[in-house]
Amino acid sequence: MSRTYVVTGAASGIGKTTTQILRAAGNTVIGVDLAGVEVSGDLSHREGRLTAAAEATRLANGTVDAVIACAGLSIPKPVTAAVNYFGMTEFLEAMQPALTTSPAPRVALISSMASLQPVAPPLVEALLQDDEQAALAIAEQLAGDPQTGNLIYSSSKQAVSRWVRREAPKALWAGAGIPLNAVGPGTVITPMTQELLASEDGRKLVDSVVPMPLNSHQAPESIANLLIWLTSVENTHCCGQTIYCDGGADVVLRGDDIWSWNEAGIRDTFARIQGAH
């Protein structure tokens, strides 16, 4: 059954590939990007996000079955925080009313395995507080130092994954029957990474921070197909997840035990249960 999708970042990279696959399957796709697609919109500021969402909703005649948010930047500048976080969260919130008119609404975002790498906690917190002015001021400070500029990207992606976990079970999303999830890619071969991967030194640098034992660097199709499944009718119960489709980078970096951090909390819970009887 044909569905109507809105895809941000549709002019290049993962967004473009996702759009192509969806259209080949007979779906209607309304692309959002700076230029070259159905909706020309600048997601780096609030007015651009709201205007783009309104135009996408208009082109969809008020009903959108799924939104896939792919728009993003990786440059060590404040605009990366603006696009990667607010360009997703604020845009999606503006699209939510159009999603509620679909019989099977779905949302998926692009996060990154960089969400597991070092971040700047003050920037993450400012983003999660939806304080764009404060977040951009912190990002400006980080951008002024070559040692901290790259933290803008990882911080924005961690904030996205945390936003998804925080918001997915709420009335606006799960309560409205809208699964909200993210995908965390590893190193994807796109125009964003092409120059870095062109040299042996660049590849070694990338592989040192994003180890991918399964099939190495990935084509955008690997992410696009997962985004499409997450926004399909078949996905009824994934809620608030960041699924790391990264060739094994997550498991290499975090190991086999990501649960022991909560052992104290589990013990306290059982103690309270036993004390109640």
Answer yes or no: are the C-beta atoms of 94 and 68 closer than 8 Å: no
Provide the pLDDT for residue 193: 85
Say how far apart CA 210 and CA 217 lie, in whole Å. Answer: 9
For residue 275, give every residue at least 6 positions away whose Cβ sits within 8 Å of its Cβ, in sequence order, or none. Answer: none
Say how far apart CA 233 and CA 141 lie, in whole Å. Answer: 44
Provide the pLDDT for residue 177: 98
How far is CA 198 from each of CA 2, 17, 203, 243, rounded to the nearest angstrom?
39, 21, 7, 27
Name the E strands within the chain. 4-8, 28-33, 39-40, 66-69, 106-110, 180-185, 242-245
For residue 253, give every residue at least 6 positions away whose Cβ sits within 8 Å of its Cβ, in sequence order, or none. Answer: 113, 116, 211
Provide the pLDDT for residue 265: 58
**Predicted TM-score of the model (pTM):** 0.92
Q: Say whether 63 sits in a helix, a strand or coil.
A: coil
Provide the pLDDT for residue 91: 98
Provide the pLDDT for residue 260: 78
The DSSP-derived string for 109-121 is EE--GGGGS---H
For residue 140, give every residue at least 6 positions away whose Cβ sits within 8 Å of its Cβ, in sequence order, or none. Answer: 78
Which positions are catalytic? 153
Provide the pLDDT for residue 52: 98
Say how far apart CA 166 and CA 171 lie, in whole Å. Answer: 11
Say how far apart CA 10 and CA 8 lie, in whole Å. Answer: 5
Residue by residue, pLDDT tens for the chain (277 residues) are: 899 999 999 999 999 999 999 999 999 999 999 999 999 999 999 999 999 999 999 999 999 999 999 999 999 999 999 999 999 999 999 999 999 999 999 999 999 999 999 999 999 999 999 999 999 999 999 999 999 999 999 999 999 999 999 999 999 999 999 999 999 999 998 887 888 888 888 889 888 889 999 999 999 999 999 999 999 999 999 999 999 999 999 999 999 988 876 666 556 656 666 666 5
Query: Nearest-5° angle of CA 65, CA 33, CA 198?
Result: 115
